[in-house]
Amino acid sequence: MDISASMVKELRTKTGAGMMDCKEALTDSRGDFEKAVEYLRKKGMSAATKRSSKAAKEGTVASYIHMQGRIGVMVEINCETDFVAKTDDFKAMAKDIAMHIAATNPMYVSPEQIPEDVLAIEKDIYKSQAAAEKKPEKIWDKIIQGKLKKYYEEVCLLDQKFIKNPDISVGTLVNNLIAKTGENIMVRRFARFQLGEELKK
């Protein structure tokens, strides 16, 4: 079937992927929009997996100030080369992620950063809830995993829905740029400051 420019544009708006990738996805899926989205996600994840072993020592520290100086964010995002770090796409993504952090206040970059003791407490809470609701014990693990997924989406930056496009996660946003640039890109760390907040002891 013919893939129209409007179809390509709509898919690009939804996923953030490049025009040629969107056309390829729609062609491969014979115009099926949902299959095209899945195609792009798999392609992005595949590219990200291939690049994850590459050293990412270049990049940028992006900042964002919100509410007339009441909230400030700094985020370090790494890539492999200075060339990619200086591209408009990379700089725009870094700025968008800093803005996202200002809005959503995540606690960690990814689930791997959550301390084991914190995870253990969460699991105990979910287990107690399942028991209190008299759920069959054989499905407790499944319930706990489902609740953990939601917990990650609340507290982990890469698992959160991207505020400028809730159809994708911040992790997918990064993976799309990995697929486009051919370089490993990673969010290394961030700091968020809010005027008047209590300091952690």
Q: What are the domain boundaries of the chain? A: 5-51, 58-110+156-194, 115-153
Cα→Cα distances 140→37, 67, 132, 154, Å: 32, 43, 12, 21
- Nearest to residue 76, comparing CAs of 97, 46, 106, 47? 97
CATH 1.10.3720.10 fits 5-51, yes or no: no
For domain 58-110+156-194, give its CATH number from 3.90.1170.30, 2.170.120.12, 3.30.479.20, 3.40.50.261. Answer: 3.30.479.20
**Dmax (CA) of the chain:** 62
Cα→Cα distances 107→78, 95, 146, 155, Å: 19, 18, 19, 5
Quick one: pLDDT at residue 54?
A: 60
Cα→Cα distances 91→77, 85, 121, 142, 201, Å: 10, 7, 38, 40, 34
Please name the fold of domain 115-153.
GTP Cyclohydrolase I; Chain A, domain 1 (1.10.286)
Neighbour order of strands in the sheet with 186-194: 58-66, 71-79, 186-194
Strands (DSSP E) contained in 25-141 are 58-66, 71-79
Quick one: pLDDT at residue 3?
A: 84
Quick one: pLDDT at residue 162?
A: 96
Kindly tell me if the per-residue pLDDT of 49 is higher than 60. no
pLDDT band (50, 70, 90) for residue 21: confident
Quick one: pLDDT at residue 16?
A: 65
Kindly tell me if the per-residue pLDDT of 55 is higher than 70. no
Indicate if 115-153 has the same CATH topology as 5-51: no
- What does the angle CA 171 – CA 119 – CA 173 come to, to the nearest 5 degrees? 5
Cα→Cα distances 41→15, 35, 94, 107, 149, Å: 8, 10, 20, 25, 18
Contact between 12 and 40 (Cβ < 8 Å): no
Average pLDDT, the chain: 87
Arithmetic mean of pLDDT, 98-125:
95
